[in-house]
Amino acid sequence: MRTAQKIVDQSYYNAKDHKDKGLSIKRARTILAKLNLDELDMSVKEKATITTAIATLDQVAETFMKAHKIKAKQEKLRDERRAAAKKLVLASDFAKLSFVKDKVALISTESFLRSQIHDVKTVFDAKYLLSRTFDSTLDEISYSLTRQTGDMNEPLANAWRKFQEKLPYLYVKNAVAVANIENILAAETKKI
């Protein structure tokens, strides 16, 4: 039988999934345990099989409950690390980017939503890109930091350095999109 650690290592399930499976096995065990074997027309061998099944289900349920505890601990550590990474990114130079061209440059390199840069047609689109999409890009950076082992300051500093190296190229690459966004925002400002 697999150990609790192997169950955790070899599955994509979360802690709740392991707990649910353990509880469901406990329910099956309880149903079997409630049978009054003396009232059933069963041979001694059949009664022994059911008794063995109850013991096996106890053992399997216990293993899944241990897997639940292991996975819950891993998830707690992961969540704490994600929170620390998010805090680190929000205090970094990435979060301090304020110019349209800088935000667009970051989104174009780090975001899964980079195609939105070229789809801006309205003020809403522009504001959404520069706020929500930019914030989700910061989340993606913090998520990638979470997956790094050890101290997260060095990988964050390396990511900033690489971004700074690419910045001149990104300004040229995204110039048309940036000009479009700035024109849309400027037109809105003139209306006010």
Per-residue pLDDT of 181-191, as tens digits, reads 999 998 877 76
In a domain, 87, yes or no: no
pLDDT at 43: 86
Are residues 36 and 11 part of one domain?
A: yes
State how far the alpha carbon of 190 is from the alpha carbons of 100, 179, 182, 187, in Å: 18, 16, 12, 5
pTM of the model: 0.73
Enclosing domain of residue 72? 4-78
Across 87-110, average pLDDT? 94
Pair (73, 102) in one structural domain: no
20 and 66 inside one domain: yes
Q: What total number of domains does the chain contain?
A: 2
The total number of residues shown for the chain amounts to 192
Q: How far apart are CA 129 and CA 116, in angstroms?
A: 7
What percent of the chain clears pLDDT 70, i.e. is strictly above it? 98
